[in-house]
Amino acid sequence: MGYLYIFCTILFTVYGQLVLKWRISKLGALPELTSEKFLFIAKFFLDPFILSGFASAFIASIFWMAAMTKFEISFAYPFMSLSFILVLFLSTIFLGEAFTMGKALGLLLIVAGIVVTVKF
């Protein structure tokens, strides 16, 4: 059951990050004028997708707390690095972000780090 908690933590974390990036990109850049910033931020909090991203982060936190009841943090935390991998692949697919050799090498290093941390 502990691994399911970690998986759900990662799933909700990734969802939140992708949805927030998607909606923020749609709303545009933060305005320069202070008065316009308040209206801009208000739009964030009225967007149901952004609210779902915040809710997703909260749900991820609950699953993380549940995972902490099953594992030592030094064992469980490296699995959170899998969120980097999912965000990179899914942002390429859904947000049209670039996938470069540097990012691929970085992913390989992350995976190697996870294996070393968990196995040794």
For 2, the token pair is: 């502990």
Per residue in 56-94, pLDDT tens? 999 999 999 999 999 999 888 888 988 988 999 999 999
For 63, the token pair is: 């699953």
Range of the domain at 84: 2-119
CB within 8 A of 65, min separation 6: which ones? none
Three-state SS string across 24-52, please? HHHHCCCCCCHHHHHHHHHHHHHCHHHHH
How far is it, in rounded angstroms, from Cα 79 to Cα 117? 10
Task: State how many domains the chain has.
Answer: 1
Say if residues 18 and 94 touch (Cβ distance below 8 Å): yes
How confident is the model over 35-42, as a mean pLDDT?
87
Say if residues 60 and 67 touch (Cβ distance below 8 Å): no
What is the pTM (predicted TM-score) of this model?
A: 0.85
Q: State what percent of residues in the chain have pLDDT above 70.
A: 100
